[in-house]
Every structure is written in structure tokens, then in C-alpha cells.
Amino acid sequence: MTIFKGVATALITPTNANGVDYDNFARVIDWQCEQGINALVIAGTTGEGSTLDDAEHKAVVKFAVERIAGRCVVIAATGSNDTNYAVQLSKFCCDAGADALLVVTPYYNKATQNGLIKMYTTIADASTKPLILYNVPSRTGINIEPETYAALADHPMIGGIKEANSNISKIVHTVQLVGDKLTLYSGNDDQIVPILSMGGQGVISVLSNVAPKITMDICNKFFAGDVKGSAELQCKMLPLINALFSEVNPVPVKAAMNYLGWCENYLRLPLTPMEPAHWEKLKALMDAQELA
């Protein structure tokens, strides 16, 4: 079950003091589609889903589905540390027309591996669209173990993995256990090529907010057999990637998108605008890539 191949932008949600800025949201969606992006993730970490209230979260997904209008794959983020809410939100997003769901591991309350299996099975049983399991232990404090992926791999509504645990050995073990039962995607922009080399089919990317064509080139070169060119481009973009994560995501990318004219540099607490020293470095790297 390949939900998409290539690049899914973990899209920002433009906001201002009055709420979601739908005019700029529409502009960003249109630009990403015009650039040829393969998929868009709506209301995920980069989209500040954790500070969207329930009504906003649903409205953002519904708006995105209607605006995208089939131009690329729509992936709605529906994870929660409350499984009942995740089920309810997943059902809504399926009905709203999302093509797939991105479901993060439960944060703060965590879970055992058995708890993860039960949680993901419960959400998948309620879903009519495939799930991408999102593993990001640096944020949630819990890792999906390779054996847990293997236990979930045969569920017909579990289709992929967004792997952001940064432990390549664990990822190799996962591929060994699940084979092609689950589609592997990189969740880290600095590991696109390593993940592709293990059979990954793409990346769910922050970088592609500001540089969609370049991010797609990394994948497309690899898929075309130009592994050396793909690796060289990965390395060339590494300083910019690091700068986009010099503070917690999405603080830097929101500043970057503001610089490019796509949104206000507005964040909801507890997030605050980028520190000046970090911003100057990010700005210089964006200018060097001629992104502005």
C-alpha cells in the first residue's frame, strides 16, 4: 500500500491574531501543488495541530481537501494522546475526503508497546483510509519498536511508517521484519537518502515548505538511479536543514515562510518567534540557496 511516492510537505498552517489565515493557507496550498508536490500533510506538527482546537483542526482539514481538489494526496494528522479523540477525528477526516491519516504515538501519557498495538489497531479499525504510523520519540518520549511494527503490519488499514527516531539500526531491523508490508517514509530531512537506500518511498518534509523542488529532486534523482547526485544534493542542503531545526519545529520554518511572503510570523504559545542569532543564520542560508 503505497500512499504516495516522493515528497509530502508537512505543511505550515498560516495563523494570525484572529485565527487561521485561510487566504494565505490557500496561497501556500496552491503553490505547493503548482510545484508538483506529491502529498500534503495537514495539521501535523509543522501545521501546529497541537494548538488548533477541535473545530479549527477539522475546518483546516476540510478546507485543505476542498482546495487541493485532487491535485495531490491529502494526509490529515489525527494522532492524540486520547485514543477516543483520535478515533473521532480520524472518522471526521476520512469523511471529509482525506486520502490517508498520519497518527503519532501518544505523547506525555506514553504507552507500552502492547498499548501502542491496541491503540493503532483501534484507530485503524475505525478508519476507512490508510494510516501512516508516526514515530518521533524525541517529541513523544516513546519509540515504536520493530517488533511492534511487525505486529501491526498485516492490518489492512495500516499502510506506512513515518520514521523519525534517527536510529538507523532500528529502521534496518524494522525493514527486515516488515519487508514491503508497510511503506517506509523518512520523517527527518537529513536522512532522506539513507531511508531511500533501505527501500523507503519518500519523505514527509519540513524543508519542502521552503524548497519543494529541491526536496523532490533529492528523491527523484534517487528513484532515477542517480544515487550519487541524490546524496550530493542531500549534503548540499544539510546546513539549511539543520538551520530549520535549530529551534523546535515549526518555529524556524514559520519564520522562513514569513520571509518568503507566505504568512505572518505568528505562533501560538508556548511557541515564540525565532531567536535573532538563529534567524540570521537561517536567512543567510536561504539567501545562499536563492529561495527568497
Read off the pLDDT of residues 40-81 as tens digits, 9 standing for 90 and up: 999 999 999 999 999 999 999 999 999 999 999 999 999 999
Residue 260 resides in a domain: no
The pLDDT value recorded for residue 195 is 97
CATH of the domain at 138: 3.20.20.70
Cα distances (angstroms) measured from residue 236 to each of 39, 211, 225, 240, 273: 24, 13, 19, 8, 26
Residue 284 domain-assigned? no
pLDDT in tens, 260-284: 999 999 999 999 999 999 999 999 9
Under 8 Å between Cβ of 21 and 39: no
Cα–Cα distance between 31 and 20 in angstroms, integer?
Answer: 18
Domain count, the chain: 1
pLDDT for 223 equals 98
Above 80 in pLDDT, residue 239?
yes
pLDDT surpassing 90 at residue 184: yes
Q: Could you confirm whether 283 is annotated as catalytic?
A: no
The reply to whether 266 belongs to the active site is no
In this structure, is residue 118 part of a structural domain? yes
Closest CA to 185 of 205, 168, 204: 204
pLDDT given for residue 185 in this prediction: 98
What pLDDT score was predicted for residue 257?
98
- Say what the pLDDT of residue 105 is: 98
Average pLDDT for 31-39: 98
Domain that holds residue 139: 6-224
Do 75 and 132 touch, CB atoms closer than 8 A? Answer: yes
Q: How confident is the model at residue 125 (pLDDT cuts 50, 70, 90)?
A: very high
Q: What is the mean pLDDT of residues 103-110?
A: 96
Q: Determine the average pLDDT of the residues in 132-138.
A: 97
Inside any domain, residue 277 = no
pLDDT at 94: 98
Counting residues of the chain whose pLDDT is more than 70, the rounded percentage is 100
Task: Establish if 278 belongs to a structural domain.
Answer: no
Question: What sign results for the dihedral spanned by CA atoms 63, 64, 69, 75?
Answer: negative
Determine the average pLDDT of the residues in 188-214: 98
* pLDDT (0 to 100) of residue 246: 97
Cell numbers found for residue 189: 530531512
Answer whether residue 279 is part of any domain: no
292: pLDDT strictly greater than 80:
no
pLDDT value of residue 267: 97
Task: Please compute the mean of the pLDDT values over residues 163-176 and round it to a whole number.
Answer: 95
Residue 59 lies in a domain: yes
Structure pTM? Answer: 0.97
Average pLDDT (248-257) is 98
Assign 170 a pLDDT band (cuts: 50, 70, 90). very high
Summarize the confidence of residues 148-171 as an average pLDDT. 96
Give the residue among 209, 155, 152, 162 at the shortest CA–CA distance from 183: 162
- The whole-angstrom separation of Cα 250 and Cα 41 is 14
Query: What is the pLDDT, as a whole number, of residue 224?
Result: 98
58, 129, 162, 170: which one is catalytic? 162
Among residues 120, 134, 149, 259, the one annotated as catalytic is 134
pLDDT range class, residue 219, cuts 50, 70, 90: very high
